[in-house]
A and B are shown apart, each in its own frame.
Chain A
């Protein structure tokens, strides 16, 4: 007995899925093998995300250590590689506390809701040629839609914890997430326009010249927006540990905390993978038919390194300043990028509507100039805004240095 995949499924199914499907299909009914193959893929993806989270936890702690002239965790395993496992074991053995007065079902649901979108986002990422679980033709849209679930999860965490610090964190986080969606979406619009497709696979194939060169401004806005959405420095107000303890997950402990941490670091990995796909050319590179996965991993690693590097360097912005950065700095930048890319695509593309490598090169040159000018102009504008935002609570104006005589 052999099963045939439905015609539209054949298009999107990757090699591993088909292998499992065919293998199981020889002994089981078709519908069951369809489900089993799906479950196997889900298992693989969930583990990929969690393992990625573990590796990124380790990498972040080691790298932060080295950035700070320390060593970082180095006791468990070679180079401390098993440290995340040890952390996980510790967290699993801890008591799982639910605060008195918490909204218990909502409280318990949050860790799952934090991890689920990540796994769902992973489904459309092409790890190598034709290796995404679902090669959706609206991949970019899907990613933007699914990633918004996190904001609900964070707000649920803050609301259900019955803790005022958690409430602060949740309120901040929702404000930040909603504000930063806008520039991120606008910056991705330029990418979609140049690639003329919303499928991540097609976007990778369109990148004969990586898009971070073609649209540096979009890359900048996307990275800044994603730092904010991931609560990474310098936009990490939602869990600003020096201000509001741990923000929305103040009350979480034990395995729930482990899941939230996994979601946080897994989020870094997934977002880096998306950034690598959209802007660094994903799996493309020399010998990409065999080494595509390696190129993909290297590019993702580079973006993860950038996130860690920023975290090691920058202080955090205040919530109103973060909003200002979003609406007064990133939004205009993304609009400038969109306008520039629209014009360029309109003027450069050939009669059949395709951009050649030469066109992309011209765009890159123009857009680098546009990026530098735009960042300079809007940077100076926002600096003045920030400067005059400072309140002067005192009516007394004593210019310069005063010396007061004390007898």
Chain B
């Protein structure tokens, strides 16, 4: 009968009236944030950074400013430079994560927060001191070692049976404790291992880092 589909439409909307709303009331509730979320507030580990400025070169917008000088004390640790300036102009950042991808030493990570709103653009530049002192909640974007199943064969059909509650998936950048520089390395990650000769750190720290990984 003509008009029947219009009645059907009314029933659809009525059915949805009785449903629980789909939206999330943001300040009180929060959507589940996935570990790879590319957030603001970059996480930077000075201990890992050599000052090579790969991130600055690879940034499509050129918003990372790095000034280094040869460091006397750091020479025994490998060709490490002393960083004087490490500014990230967050207001122009598009959070593509290419700087993280470019970093060969796992020194730079995407952050996991997203609440860095400021009233003035000049307040949005992240300086080296802010980076040093910030609580470090790195995102797992381009850092598979943080995802907890590195080294296992990459997942295919079979992996779909893995239960959701498996603790290996539950790295929560926001909720978990801040991570130190020893815990975030990619020493076990095969993809980059060939490219670099290992971390340029003093032997003691490297051992600790290795112990931390297991």
Contact = CB atoms under 8 A, between A and B. Distances in A.
Interface in B1-49: 1-3, 6, 9-10, 12-14, 16-17, 19, 21-23, 25
Given A69-B19, A69-B21, A69-B23, A309 B2 contact: no
B3 A309 contact: no
Given A70-B22, A379-B3, A309 B14 contact: yes
A95 B16 CA distance: 39
Interface string A370-399: 000001100110010000000000000000
B4 to A, nearest CB: 10
A70 to B, nearest CB: 5
Contact of B25 (A66, A71, A310, A379): A71
Contact of B2 (A63, A69, A379): A379
A67 B16 contact: yes
A314 B9 contact: yes
B9 A69 contact: no
Contacts of A66: 16-17, 21
Contacts of B13: 67, 309, 312-313
Contacts of B19: 69
A312 B13 CA distance: 7
B84 to A, nearest CB: 47
Contacts, number: 41
B10 A309 contact: yes
A68 B10 CA distance: 12
A15 interface: no
A380 B3 CA distance: 9
Given A70-B23, A313-B9, A376 B2 contact: yes
Interface in A311-354: 312-314
A65 interface: yes
Contact of B22 (A63, A67, A69, A312): A69
Interface residues of B, number: 16
A375 B21 contact: no
Nearest to B8: A313
A302 to B, nearest CB: 14
A349 B10 CA distance: 38
Nearest to A306: B10
Nearest to A310: B10
B3 to A, nearest CB: 5
A63 B17 contact: yes
A51 to B, nearest CB: 25
Contacts of B1: 376, 379
A132 to B, nearest CB: 33
A69 B18 CA distance: 9
A365 B146 CA distance: 73
Contacts of A383: 2
A131 B9 CA distance: 39
A278 to B, nearest CB: 23
A68 B2 CA distance: 26
Contact of A71 (B2, B3, B9, B21): B21
A377 to B, nearest CB: 10
A71 B19 CA distance: 11
Nearest to A383: B2
Contacts of B10: 309-310, 313
B21 A70 contact: yes
B14 to A, nearest CB: 7
A103 B150 CA distance: 73
Nearest to B23: A70
Nearest to A315: B9
A68 B16 contact: yes
A74 B23 CA distance: 12
Interface string A56-87: 00000001011111110010000000000000
Interface in A107-166: none
A71 B23 CA distance: 7
B137 to A, nearest CB: 29
Contacts of A312: 13
A376 B3 CA distance: 9
A16 to B, nearest CB: 37
Contacts of A74: 25
**Nearest 8 A/B pairs, CB to CB:** A379-B2, A69-B22, A313-B13, A71-B21, A67-B13, A313-B9, A312-B13, A70-B23
16 contacts: A66-B16, A66-B17, A68-B16, A70-B22, A71-B23, A71-B25, A309-B10, A310-B10, A312-B13, A313-B6, A313-B10, A313-B12, A314-B9, A376-B2, A380-B2, A383-B2
Given A69-B19, A70-B22, A70-B23, 11 more contacts: A63-B17, A66-B16, A66-B21, A67-B13, A67-B17, A68-B16, A69-B21, A69-B23, A309-B13, A313-B9, A314-B6
